[in-house]
Amino acid sequence: MLTVTPLSGTIGAEISGIDLAAASDAEIAAIRRIWLDHNVVFFRDQTLPPAAFLALARRFGSPIEYPFVKGIDGFAEIIPVLKLPHERVNFGGIWHSDTSYLDTPPMATMLVALDVPAYGGDTLFANMYLAYDALSDGMKQLLDGLKYVASSAKADVSRTREDRIRDGARNDAKTLYEATHPVVRTHPETGRKALYVNTAHALRFDSMTEAESAPLLGYLFEHAVRPEFTCRFRWSAGALALWDNRCTLHNPVNDYHGQLRSMHRITLAGDRPV
């Protein structure tokens, strides 16, 4: 039987009592229901070499390739999420929803830990349903129907991927990806509204300049990650996280300089935000 332990009062749950590599169809369906309720779910002590990890991902959706970095040998859909002991900047170390600069961003991300530091390297998650719900009626009215431009080229997030591009850039990667999305999106499975901007990728509002957009975007970036909307997960070797990019932001904390952190990541195809 699955045991579900919430990580906070607003987002995240740890699921125990299951070997994901041998999960039944009924267990996968139950996990999906729990995931939709909690935005992100976590599992400990899983044995998921690349073939098993990819097979598991296919039971939740359609794995897609990351646009900038090549996958590991033999598995184009699995990318290394790595920080070496001599490196100072971590991959994706900023609040974001994965690759939201694509026209059809991934619905979900799966991340499994291989090597973890003795301390540090936790990941924070934020609930974008609650971020939207907590806005005033006037702000909701302003934001509903508003669109923004998401870009892969914002300076902070570009810096967090530099090491991995140097080590394993895709030959067919474009230099820039941009897409226009609604500031508030409706989740296609739950029907709930979620704030859908993040500091890593939201560049400006559609038909506005960056300078004109900055004050309101800055407010939304800070509002979205208020502590009461978040949870924090401490990794262990063999731990796996599955999060919903349509209603969740995440931020890997870069507080473990001099230590190795190595993980494998798969993203699952989504639909165009509306």
Q: Which amino acid is at 221?
A: F
250: annotated active-site residue = yes
Q: What is the dihedral of CA 22, 27, 29, 34, to 10 degrees?
A: -120
Q: Where are the alpha helices (DSSP H) in the chain?
A: 25-38, 50-58, 128-133, 137-143, 155-160, 162-168, 210-224
* Measured distance between the N- and C-terminal CA atoms of the chain, rounded to whole angstroms: 36
Pick the catalytic residue: 96, 181, 185, 187?
A: 96
Are 252 and 94 spatial neighbours (Cβ–Cβ below 8 Å)?
Answer: no
- How far is Cα 43 from Cα 116, in angstroms, rounded to an integer? 15
Can you spell out the DSSP letters for 23-65?
A: --HHHHHHHHHHHHHHSEEEE-S----HHHHHHHHHTTS-EE-
Residue labelled with tokens 């184009």: 76
Token representation of residue 256: 């473990």
Considering 161, 181, 185, 250, which one is annotated as catalytic? Answer: 250
Return the closest-CA partner of residue 68 out of 180, 193, 153: 153
96 labelled catalytic: yes
Q: What residues does 250 pair with on adjacent strands?
A: 96, 125
**Which of 98, 163, 164, 244 is the catalytic position?**
98
β-strands 13-16, 40-43 pairing: parallel
Catalytic residue from among 185, 201, 261, 265: 265
CA 148 to chain centre: 19
The whole-angstrom separation of Cα 245 and Cα 40 is 9
Active site residues: 96, 98, 250, 265
